[in-house]
Amino acid sequence: MMQQVVKSKRAIVEGNMLADAHCHLELFQDPKTVAKDAAFGGVGVIITAGGSKASSVEAIKIADGKNIFAVIGIDPENAEKDSDFIDDIAAFIKSETKIVGIGEIGIDNKVITKKQFQIEAFEKQINIAIELDIPVVIHSRGALNETLDIIKRSGIKKVMFHFFEGDSEDAVKVAGLGFLISIPPVESSRRKRVIQSVGIESLVVETDSPVVGKSPLDVIKTAQWIAGIKGIGYDEVSAQMTKNVKNLFLI
């Protein structure tokens, strides 16, 4: 019994040491319990992301502004269907301090939404983020160079690439621009090279749960993987990952 208590106390301490930079709590049957279990297990900060009007509204409801924060926005797949919501984003952000960014937004060449709608939605939301001085969370699939071109033209500086799909050369380019690269719980040789190519100050960890990871706790495995690749301690990696998230989202 005594040993069990010690483990529990340590988990609570470690809960302040790691952040899930991107997940979708609204897709869980019981988001609050998922968040509590994550905090108890070692993940004390969660960024839950929208992508449609409905998911953005749910993200706002779930966020508590203490451990759970929301980013809201219209992703490429919903760029035509939910374009009207973009006009409401600024008002939501101004009225809710628990909303800390706009996302996920970007370009996706693997969805059926016409490119013109994707680009228009993407650029409008970047402009809102610049006006409000908040970060954007980028969704880019099969369109990294195109997405980067739009970002660079806009001049926005606060950027996180969710579920980064580029190679090591892309990673160096993105990190060189001062943007964060988010590593999901999917190990691959390509992703390993990305991790090797940049410093931990340019990385964050995410689960994209429950779409990819099972829960926010899966960031622990990813942080351990990064620590092994970098040859440094887990505590150092987890502290830096959380610092990167907090610095970007000002939480």
Cα four-point dihedral sign 187, 192, 198, 200: positive
User: How many angstroms separate the CA atoms of 153 and 126, rounded?
Assistant: 11
Q: Which is more confident, 138 or 4?
A: 138
Strands in 57-110 per DSSP E: 68-72, 99-108
Residue 3 has pLDDT above 80, yes or no: no
Residue 1 has pLDDT above 80, yes or no: no
- Relative to beta strand 180-183, strand 19-23 is unpaired
pLDDT band, very low/low/confident/very high, at 15 (cuts 50, 70, 90): very low
Q: What is the pLDDT of residue 184?
A: 98
What's the chain's Rg over C-alpha atoms?
A: 17
Residue 198 has pLDDT above 70, yes or no: yes
**Predicted TM-score of the model (pTM):** 0.93
Proportion of the chain above pLDDT 70, given as a percent? 94
Burial of 87 (0-12, 13-18, 19+ CB in 10 A): exposed
Q: What is the pLDDT of residue 17?
A: 76
Give kind and range of the element (H or E) at residue 85: none
Burial of 30 (0-12, 13-18, 19+ CB in 10 A): exposed
Q: What is the pLDDT of residues 80-90, one digit of tens each?
A: 999 999 999 99
Q: What is the pLDDT of residues 201-215, one digit of tens each?
A: 999 999 999 999 999
Residue 73 has pLDDT above 80, yes or no: yes
Cα four-point dihedral sign 10, 12, 16, 17: positive
Number of domains comprising the chain: 1
Provide the residue range defining the domain that includes 178: 2-249
Q: What is the pLDDT of residue 12?
A: 40
Residue 16 has pLDDT above 90, yes or no: no
State the residue for tokens 């319990």: 33
State the residue for tokens 């892309």: 170
Proportion of the chain above pLDDT 90, given as a percent? 93
If you average pLDDT over residues 224-250, what whole number do you get? 97
Q: What is the DSSP letter of 151?
A: H
Strands in 66-170 per DSSP E: 68-72, 99-108, 136-141, 159-161
pLDDT averaged over every residue in the chain? 94
Report the CATH number at residue 118.
3.20.20.140
Least confident window among 4-18, 31-45, 166-180: 4-18
Burial of 100 (0-12, 13-18, 19+ CB in 10 A): buried
Residue 222 has pLDDT above 80, yes or no: yes
Residues with Cβ within 8 Å of residue 133, at least 6 apart in sequence: 158
Residue 14 has pLDDT above 70, yes or no: no
Q: What is the pLDDT of residues 42-53, one digit of tens each?
A: 999 999 999 999
pLDDT band, very low/low/confident/very high, at 4 (cuts 50, 70, 90): very low
